[in-house]
């Protein structure tokens, strides 16, 4: 790492602080119009801010007790919205970005499918060109917040005669379009559902809502997933969000549970892991400040952070003894701060099983790291170069 944290008297920090003092409790639209929602984006959407200014802004929003717009519309702002800056048309940017930045339209990702398993390239949802529209048919699953989103970013198969990774395209889908049915998936957290399945029956999407050229879908979604994984390389309990190992240790000390030698040993190990993740986050920031490419660190960080968070929330609940078997938001004391979605150990624990599945399973991430970081031989895929509509037929013929 090679950078210094911006000082308290940094002029950029003072300017932001003064604006927040003059505009207490600003709306998401006010933040967007100021360029504070996505400061790293170019004008008119952001400020073309460098990593240091982004860090300053995040810290000043937290200091002022203001929830960052990313916590309201994470998919639109963290992963998919910025794809429009690279791949989108000006018409698409003007239609979709202003309400996304103002958190007036929430976004969801429609990627996974019931029959695809961990192989996104095996998706079966199709889009057929029909004049100025495409007609989409298929099914998506495990779609976060699809039941409360206005925009869906969907990847579909537009050319079944091409190999599975070549015939894919991405569309910006208005979720109120006729033919879309959203079914919430009720999970064991007992809280409001996170996931949904989405059924698409002859859904007509304007051709002007295709993101990028036909066939570029795989490249676009991989870019989005890399961005999402990088954001998860943080020491929070679930996907980088929520309480950290530092706060776990503090809670164990305050409750006296740290006196148990077995708990103390686990807590020490988790603290070390949390510090490694924190330093990886700083290294990523250092790379950005010094103009180095992001690379594939997001895969490594996400692979480490997900099981780390599972072990943290498990120890927090287990430290309660028998009481940990029931729902109880006061598992361990936490500082008075906004942790976003995973604001308590109880919810983090019940949700944590999803952490090593969503945004790439541990097995997929390990393969990616082995092949692209360590340079090991690629995993064999006999269907990789086969036209998708012929997959399976060559095995039957044999």
**Domain contains 351:** yes
Which whole-number Å values give the CA distances from 130 to 49, 118, 173, in the listed order? 42, 31, 16
Task: Please provide the average confidence, as pLDDT, over all residues in the chain.
Answer: 86
Over residues 93-109, mean pLDDT: 95
Over residues 30-43, mean pLDDT: 92
> What is the rounded CA–CA span in Å between residue 333 and residue 349?
15
pLDDT in tens, 194-252: 899 999 999 999 999 999 999 999 999 888 776 666 665 677 888 777 889 999 999 99
Residue 379 has pLDDT above 70, yes or no: yes
Which residues are registered as beta bridge partners of 211? 170
Top pLDDT among 293 and 236 is at 236
pLDDT in tens, 53-64: 888 998 899 889
Could you tell me if 177 and 242 lie in one domain? no
Could you tell me if 189 and 302 lie in one domain? no
Domain of 21, CATH number, reads: 1.10.540.10
pLDDT at 375: 85
**Domain contains 374:** no
- Structural domain ending residue among the three candidates 101, 119, 152: 101
Residue 174 has pLDDT above 80, yes or no: yes
Could you tell me if 356 and 236 lie in one domain? yes
pLDDT at 397: 47
The label of the residue with tokens 């676009």 reads 220
Could you tell me if 155 and 206 lie in one domain? yes
> What is the rounded CA–CA span in Å between residue 195 and residue 221?
19
User: In this structure, what token pair is assigned to residue 44?
Assistant: 């008119």
pLDDT at 272: 95
Which residues are registered as beta bridge partners of 203? 136
Reported as a pLDDT band with limits 50, 70 and 90, residue 398 is very low
φ and ψ at 128, to 5 degrees? -110, 130
Could you tell me if 67 and 129 lie in one domain? no
Domain of 238, CATH number, reads: 1.20.140.10
Nearest CA-CA partner of 388 in 110, 122, 111: 122
Give the DSSP letter of residue 387. Answer: B
Domain of 192, CATH number, reads: 2.40.110.10
Kindly provide the b/e burial profile for residues 367-383, where b requires at least 16 CB atoms within 10 angstroms of the residue's own CB. Answer: bbeeeeeeeeeeeeeeb
Could you tell me if 86 and 119 lie in one domain? no
> What is the rounded CA–CA span in Å between residue 36 and residue 30?
9
> What is the rounded CA–CA span in Å between residue 387 and residue 165?
10
Nearest CA-CA partner of 356 in 301, 307, 311: 307
DSSP-derived secondary structure for 15-37: HHHHHHHHSSS--HHHHHHHT-S
Could you tell me if 33 and 93 lie in one domain? yes
pLDDT in tens, 237-292: 887 778 899 999 999 999 999 999 999 999 999 999 999 888 887 777 666 656 55
**Domain contains 38:** yes
Top pLDDT among 127 and 40 is at 127
pTM of the model: 0.83
**Domain contains 221:** no
Which whole-number Å values give the CA distances from 308 to 146, 293, 313, 394, in the listed order? 28, 26, 9, 42
Instruction: State how many domains the chain has.
Output: 3
> What is the rounded CA–CA span in Å between residue 98 and residue 60?
23
Could you tell me if 97 and 148 lie in one domain? no
Top pLDDT among 298 and 130 is at 130
Kindly provide the b/e burial profile for residues 255-269, where b requires at least 16 CB atoms within 10 angstroms of the residue's own CB. Answer: eebbeeeeeeebbee
Could you tell me if 125 and 205 lie in one domain? yes
Could you tell me if 324 and 343 lie in one domain? yes
Could you tell me if 201 and 239 lie in one domain? no
The label of the residue with tokens 């790439």 reads 360
Over residues 280-308, mean pLDDT: 70
Q: At what angle do helices 261-289 and 245-255 cross, to 10 degrees?
A: 150
Could you tell me if 243 and 297 lie in one domain? yes
User: In this structure, what token pair is assigned to residue 184?
Assistant: 């919430």
Which contiguous run of DSSP H or E holds residue 203? strand 195-206
Over residues 62-88, mean pLDDT: 86
Q: Which structural domain range is residue 288 located in?
A: 232-360
φ and ψ at 379, to 5 degrees? -65, 140
Over residues 146-175, mean pLDDT: 94
- Taking the CA atoms of residue 381, residue 385, residue 391 and residue 392 in that order, the dihedral angle to the nearest 10 degrees is -50
**Domain contains 149:** yes
**Domain contains 222:** no
**Domain contains 369:** no
Within its chain, how far is the Cα of 377 from the centroid?
29
Over residues 70-83, mean pLDDT: 85
Residue 169 has pLDDT above 90, yes or no: yes
pLDDT at 237: 82
- Taking the CA atoms of residue 80, residue 86, residue 88 and residue 90 in that order, the dihedral angle to the nearest 10 degrees is 120
Contact 198, 180 (CB under 8 A): yes
**Domain contains 23:** yes
């Amino acid at each position: 790492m090679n950078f210094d944290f911006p000082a308290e008297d940094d002029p950029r920090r003072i300017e932001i602080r003064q604006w927040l003092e003059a505009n207490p409790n600003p709306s998401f639209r006010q933040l967007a119009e100021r360029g504070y929602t996505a400061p790293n984006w170019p004008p008119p959407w952001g400020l073309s801010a460098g990593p240091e200014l982004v860090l300053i802004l995040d810290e000043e929003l937290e200091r002022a007790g203001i929830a960052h717009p990313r916590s309201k519309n994470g998919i639109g702002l963290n992963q998919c919205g910025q794809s429009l800056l690279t791949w989108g048309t000006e018409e698409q940017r003007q239609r979709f970005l202003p309400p996304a930045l103002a958190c007036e339209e929430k976004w969801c990702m429609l990627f996974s499918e019931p029959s695809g398993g961990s192989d996104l390239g095996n998706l079966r949802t199709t889009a057929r060109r029909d004049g100025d529209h495409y007609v989409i048919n298929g099914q998506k699953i495990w779609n976060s917040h699809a039941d409360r989103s206005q925009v869906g970013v969907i990847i579909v198969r537009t050319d079944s005669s091409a190999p599975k990774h070549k015939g894919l395209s991405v569309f910006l889908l208005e979720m109120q379009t006729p033919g879309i049915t959203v079914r919430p998936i009720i999970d064991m957290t007992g809280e409001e559902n996170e996931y949904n399945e989405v059924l698409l029956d002859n859904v007509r999407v304007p051709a002007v809502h295709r993101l990028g050229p036909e066939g570029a879908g795989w490249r676009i979604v991989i870019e989005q997933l890399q961005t999402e994984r990088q954001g998860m390389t943080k020491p929070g309990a679930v996907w980088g969000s929520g309480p950290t190992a530092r706060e776990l240790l503090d809670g164990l000390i305050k409750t006296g549970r740290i006196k148990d030698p077995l708990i103390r040993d686990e807590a020490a190990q988790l603290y070390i892991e949390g510090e490694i993740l924190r330093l990886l986050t700083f290294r990523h920031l250092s790379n950005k400040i010094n103009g180095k490419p992001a690379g594939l660190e997001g895969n490594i960080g996400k692979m480490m952070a997900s099981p780390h968070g599972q072990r943290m929330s498990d120890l927090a609940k287990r430290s309660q003894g028998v009481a940990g078997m029931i729902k109880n938001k006061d598992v361990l004391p936490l500082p008075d701060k906004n942790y976003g979605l995973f604001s308590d150990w109880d919810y983090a624990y019940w949700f944590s099983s999803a952490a090593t599945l969503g945004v790439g399973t541990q097995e997929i991430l390990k393969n990616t790291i082995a092949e692209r970081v360590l340079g090991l031989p690629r995993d064999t895929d006999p269907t990789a170069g086969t036209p998708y509509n012929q997959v399976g037929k060559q095995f039957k013929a044999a």
